[in-house]
Structure 1
Amino acid sequence: MARTLIRELARLAGAQTGVRTGAAADPAETVTVHGWINALRLQSRMQFVVVRDHTGLVQVTHRRGGDGDPVEAALERLTPESAVKITGTVVANPIVKLGGLEIRPERVEIVALAEAGLPIDEHSGPEHRLDWRFLDLRRPERQLVLAVQTTVEQAMREVAAEEGFTELHSPKLMGAPSESGAEVFRVGYFDRTAYLAQSPQFYKQLAIAGGIDRVFEIGPVFRAEPSYTSRHATEFTGVDVEIAWIEDVEEVMAFEERMLHRVLSRVTERHGEAIRELLGVEPVVPALPFPRVTMAEALARLRATGWDPEGVAEDLDPEGERRLAALVAEEHGHAFVFVTDFPASVRPFYHHRRAADPSVTASFDLLWQGLEITTGAQREHRYEVLRAQATEKGMALEPLASYLDCFRYGTPPHGGFGLGLGRVLMVLLGLGSIRDAGFLFRGPNRLTP
C-alpha cells in the first residue's frame, strides 16, 4: 500500500466522520504510515504507540488479542526510534491529544529495530547532540530549522531573480587569500599551496568588471578563526550580493532591506505556526526602512551610557552591538539597525572612502537584535586608488595582481554585502547557538560527523 504522510490523516479522519462533507460518515480508511517510534506505552490490555514522520505525530492504539496476535507481538518488540511501517484504519477520536485521531493497526512491519538505550535525549548538551546528529535531526524542531532555511533561500533567490540578478557559483579554491591573509585555510594543491575562500568578494567584483550588472551567490565560506563562541563557525553558508553602477552605498542597503522583508514575510506565512509551537518564538516582519546610525554617532551614544572597552576605539564589540540594538529598539521599536560610515582603519583596502572625509568608508554592518548578520560597502573601483589603499594597509601588490587587473580597463562604481545565513536563522528562530542553525556544524574542534 502507498505511504500516507501523517499530516494527511486529519483529512481522512474528517471524511470518515462526515466533518468535511456534511454527509454520512464514510467507512474507516486504511492507510500505511512510515516513520519512527516516538513513544511507547504498553499496558496489560492496551498498547499505545506514537509514530513520528517528518510531517507530524500519530497515536497507534491496539487492544491486545492474546496468543498468536501478530500485531501485539510486533508492538511488544518495539524500541524508541525503531523504523516501522504500520497499516491500519484511521479513526477520529476526540480523546486522543494528538490531533483527535488514531490508527487501529492491522499490520506492523519493523523495518529496522533500534538498539535499546538512546545515546542522547532532550537534556543532552549541544556538543553531545552533534556527536549523534542523525538522531538529533529526527526531532521536529531540528527539522523545522532546515525547512525554514529552505524557505529563506527560496525567498532570497526570488527577490534576486525579480531584480535582475545573475546567480554565480564562485571557486572555493584560490591561489591567494581572498582577504588579508589571516584566518585562512591552506591546502595542498599539486605542487603548490591553495587557499579555501574566505569570501567570494574578488569573484563578485570580477563579474562586475565583466559586465554582469548584478550578481548573487549562496555558497560555503571558510574562516580559520580559533573562535569557540555561539556565533562563529569555520565553515558556514554565506549570501553574497554585488550591484554595479550604484550612485551610493544606500542602494545596496535598500536592496538588503527588500530582500529581508520578503524573507521574513515568506517564513511567517509558511512556518509561523510551527515556529511558535515548537520554538516559542514569534516571527516579525520588519517595517521599511530600517533605522540607520553612523559609527561616529553609535560610539558617542554608547560611551554616554558608560560603554568604553579598551582596544575598541573605532569599532563595536559584541557588547556594544547589543547595547546599540537595545537603544534603537527602545527609540524606534525596530529589531534591525544599519551601522554606517566605518573608519577606514577598521575596513578592508577595497572599501570606497568618502570624498568629503577619506578617513571614513562608505560601508555598513547590519545588526539584528544585537547580532551582526551582514557586512557591506561601496567598493573602490579606481585602479590607482586601490593600489594606494592596499599599500597603505601594508599589503603586497604582487599576490593581488589578478584582482587588481579587473580595475585596469574600466570598472563601474559598485557595492555589495555578505550575509551569514546561520546567523539569520539563529536570530529568526531564537536559537542559542549557530551549532543548531544548519545541517552539520564545523568549528575548531569539530570535523565530524
Structure 2
Amino acid sequence: MNRCYIKDLNNYYNKEVRVKAFVDNIRDLQYVQFVILRDSSGKVQVTIEKNEENKDLVEIVSNLTLESTVDVVGTLMENEKVKLNGMEILPSKIVVTTKSLPELPIDIKDKNKSLRETRLDYRFLDLRRDDNNLFFKCQTIVLHAMREYWVSKGFIEINSPKICAGVAESGAEVFKLDYFGEEASLAQSPQFYKQMAMAAGFDKVFEIAPAFRAEKSHTSYHATEIFMVDAEISWIDSVDDVMDMQEDWIKYVLNKLRDTYGKEIKETFNVEISNTDVKFPRITFDEAKRILKENFNYVSEKEDDFERKEEELLCKYVKEKYNSDFVFITKFPKSSRAFYHNIDENGYSNSYDLLYKGVEITTGAQREHRPDVLERQAIEKGIDPESIRFYIDFFKYGCPPHGGFGFGLARLMMKIFEFDNIREVTYLYRGPNRLTP
C-alpha cells in the first residue's frame, strides 16, 4: 500500500490508509490511547482502544517516545468529536521505524522557543517546529515566484563562478583560498559576471546563488554565507527602468505568496502580506535627509548614506503618508557608491536603495558601461585597474546601457515575516562563531 500524506486523507474516509510520520504527541488514558502523527503536510489523530484485540498495538504505543517515526496502517474514520480535522485513524498495524531518545535536547513545542544558540546546535530538531515547516514552504513559493516572473519575461538564468581571482568589487572582506598555487577568493557577489552577461548580449539575466562575506559581524542582519538574488537588464534608458522592473517583480512575488499561504501566515505568524496596490514612492537622497530633519528632527553624522535609525524613520514616514511598506531612495552621493555605478552631471549616482519595513533590502543602479569612464572611477576609489582588467575588458567591444540590483534572500524573508534575526530564516546559519552543523 502506498503512503498517503496527511493533507490528502480526507479523500479516503472509511478506507484503509497508510501514514508515515513523526510522533507529535501521546496521551495514554485508562481505556484508550491517542497518538498524534505529524508529517510535512499536517497532523492526524490515531485512536487505539485498550481491548484484547488491540493488545499488541497498545504495547507498542505504551513504549513509544515523542519524535519517533512510525508507519501506520488503519481505517480512516470521520469523527466530529475529534478536534483535529474531525477525523481519526483506527490502526490495524503500527511499525516503529526509529525510536527517539526519550529526552529531547530542545523543546520543539515551546512557543517562546529555547535559547537560540541551543536551537541552532540542534537545528534538525528545531526545523520540525510547525512554524519553521510553514516558513520554508513559504520561502519555496517565494523562490519559485521569482523565477516564474523572470522566465515569463524572457530572462536567462546564469550560474556564475563562486571561486574568483582578483579583489572584491565593493572592497568587502573575502574568504581567501589557495587555488593550485594562485590566490583566489570565494565570491561575495555575482556583480562582474552578471554584467558580463550584458556584454554577451544575454539582454536580461538573473541568478539566485550563495555568496560569502568574511565579515566578523555578530549583528542580527549579517551572516558569512548568504543567498543572493540578482538581476541585470540591458538597453535601459535610465535607472527608473530597473526600479520599474523590481517593483513589478516584488509585487508578483508577494501576491503569489499571499494567494498560496496568506491564511496560514496570518494564523501562524500573525502577519499580513504587504499591500501591493500602492506604487512604491520614490524619494531622492537629499529629500530624504530633509524629511528626517523636518519631521523627526534627526540629523545623522553620515552625510552620504543612512544609519539604520534613519531607514526606520523614513519607512515610518512613508507608511503614514503613502500606506506603503516600500520606498525607493534615489540619487545617492557618488562617495557612498561602488565605482561601477553611473554618475550624473551633478555628481550623484544613478542608483537607489529599496527600503522595506525599516531596513534597506536592495541596492540597484544603472551601471557605467564606458570602459574609459569605468577605469577612471576605479582609480578614484583606490582600485588598481590592472587588478580588474578582465572586468573592464568586458566593455571594450560594445556593451548596451544596463543596470540591475541584488539583495540577500534572508533579509527579504525576515521583513516579510517580521522576524528580528537572520538566524531564524536561514536553513543552516553561518557566522563568525558558527560553522556547524
TM-score range, shorter chain: over 0.9
Q: Does structure 2 conserve the Cα–Cα contact (< 8 Å) formed by 1:178 and 1:200?
A: no
1:410 corresponds to which of 392, 398, 416? 398
Deviation at 1:288, TM superposition (A): 4.6
Partner of 1:430: 418
Q: Quick one: which amino acid aligns to residue 92 of structure 1?
A: E
1:306 partnered with 2:294: no
Partner of 2:253: 263
Whole-Å Cα distance in 1 between the matches of residues 239 and 188 of structure 2?
23
1:170 partnered with 2:154: no
Q: Does structure 2 conserve the Cα–Cα contact (< 8 Å) formed by 1:422 and 1:434?
A: yes
Q: How does 1:49-64 map to 2 (within 5 A)?
A: 49-64=35-50
Whole-Å Cα distance in 2 between the matches of residues 303 and 436 of structure 1?
34
Q: Quick one: which amino acid aligns to residue 238 of structure 2?
A: D
SS in structure 1 opposite 2:324? coil
1:155 partnered with 2:145: yes
1:335 partnered with 2:335: no
Q: Does structure 2 conserve the Cα–Cα contact (< 8 Å) formed by 1:257 and 1:288?
A: no
Whole-Å Cα distance in 2 between the matches of residues 334 and 153 of structure 1?
23
1:229 partnered with 2:219: yes
Whole-Å Cα distance in 2 between the matches of residues 67 and 215 of structure 1?
64
1:279 corresponds to which of 269, 284, 293? 269
Q: Does structure 1 conserve the Cα–Cα contact (< 8 Å) formed by 2:21 and 2:38?
A: yes
1:118 corresponds to which of 96, 104, 107? 104
Partner of 2:381: 393
SS in structure 2 opposite 1:187? strand
Deviation at 1:432, TM superposition (A): 2.5
Whole-Å Cα distance in 2 between the matches of residues 157 and 180 of structure 1?
26
Going from structure 1 to structure 2, the CA distance change for 1:68 and 1:279 (only over 3 Å counts) comes to closer
Q: How does 1:325-364 map to 2 (within 5 A)?
A: 325-355=315-345, 357=346, 359-364=347-352
Gaps spanning 5+ residues in structure 2: where?
none
Q: Does structure 1 conserve the Cα–Cα contact (< 8 Å) formed by 2:172 and 2:213?
A: no
Whole-Å Cα distance in 1 between the matches of residues 227 and 215 of structure 2?
15
Deviation at 1:429, TM superposition (A): 1.8
Partner of 2:128: 138
Going from structure 1 to structure 2, the CA distance change for 1:30 and 1:360 (only over 3 Å counts) comes to same
Partner of 2:198: 208
Q: Does structure 2 conserve the Cα–Cα contact (< 8 Å) formed by 1:294 and 1:341?
A: yes
- Normalising by structure 1, we get a TM-score of 0.94
SS in structure 1 opposite 2:12? helix
Whole-Å Cα distance in 1 between the matches of residues 170 and 149 of structure 2?
32
Whole-Å Cα distance in 2 between the matches of residues 287 and 178 of structure 1?
38
How far does the alpha carbon of each residue in 1:195-232 deviate from its partner, in whole angstroms, 9 at most, with x for none?
A: 11111000011111111111111111111121112211
Farther off after superposition, 430-439 or 333-342: 430-439
Partner of 2:25: 39
Aligned pair count reads 432
Q: Does structure 1 conserve the Cα–Cα contact (< 8 Å) formed by 2:318 and 2:324?
A: yes
SS in structure 1 opposite 2:383? coil
Deviation at 1:96, TM superposition (A): 1.3
Q: How does 1:290-305 map to 2 (within 5 A)?
A: 290-304=280-294, 305=296
How far does the alpha carbon of each residue in 1:335-391 deviate from its partner, in whole angstroms, 9 at most, with x for none?
A: 000011110000001100012x0x210000111111211110000111111111111
Q: Does structure 1 conserve the Cα–Cα contact (< 8 Å) formed by 2:24 and 2:66?
A: yes
Q: Quick one: which amino acid aligns to residue 394 of structure 2?
A: C
SS in structure 2 opposite 1:212? coil
1:82 partnered with 2:68: yes
Going from structure 1 to structure 2, the CA distance change for 1:53 and 1:106 (only over 3 Å counts) comes to same
Deviation at 1:285, TM superposition (A): 4.2
Deviation at 1:45, TM superposition (A): 1.4
SS in structure 2 opposite 1:250? helix
Q: Quick one: which amino acid aligns to residue 243 of structure 1?
A: I
Farther off after superposition, 422-431 or 163-172: 422-431
Q: Quick one: which amino acid aligns to residue 49 of structure 1?
A: V
Going from structure 1 to structure 2, the CA distance change for 1:431 and 1:180 (only over 3 Å counts) comes to closer
SS in structure 1 opposite 2:352? strand
Whole-Å Cα distance in 2 between the matches of residues 177 and 111 of structure 1?
52
Deviation at 1:68, TM superposition (A): 7.7
Whole-Å Cα distance in 1 between the matches of residues 308 and 291 of structure 2?
16
2:80 corresponds to which of 85, 90, 94? 94
Whole-Å Cα distance in 2 between the matches of residues 231 and 179 of structure 1?
21
Q: Does structure 1 conserve the Cα–Cα contact (< 8 Å) formed by 2:48 and 2:54?
A: no
Q: Quick one: which amino acid aligns to residue 3 of structure 1?
A: R
Q: How does 1:12-23 map to 2 (within 5 A)?
A: 12-13=12-13
Deviation at 1:430, TM superposition (A): 2.2
Q: Does structure 2 conserve the Cα–Cα contact (< 8 Å) formed by 1:381 and 1:413?
A: yes
SS in structure 2 opposite 1:69? helix
Q: Quick one: which amino acid aligns to residue 308 of structure 1?
A: V
SS in structure 1 opposite 2:394? helix
Whole-Å Cα distance in 2 between the matches of residues 67 and 210 of structure 1?
73
Partner of 2:356: 368
Deviation at 1:279, TM superposition (A): 1.6
Q: Quick one: which amino acid aligns to residue 82 of structure 1?
A: S
SS in structure 2 opposite 1:143? helix
Whole-Å Cα distance in 2 between the matches of residues 284 and 62 of structure 1?
45
SS in structure 1 opposite 2:201? coil
Deviation at 1:308, TM superposition (A): 2.2
Q: Quick one: which amino acid aligns to residue 268 of structure 1?
A: R
2:119 corresponds to which of 129, 143, 147? 129
1:443 partnered with 2:427: no
Farther off after superposition, 292-301 or 428-437: 428-437
How far does the alpha carbon of each residue in 1:159-180 deviate from its partner, in whole angstroms, 9 at most, with x for none?
A: 1112211110000000013324
Whole-Å Cα distance in 1 between the matches of residues 65 and 314 of structure 2?
51
Whole-Å Cα distance in 2 between the matches of residues 77 and 276 of structure 1?
37
Deviation at 1:125, TM superposition (A): 2.2
SS in structure 2 opposite 1:260? helix
Partner of 1:19: none
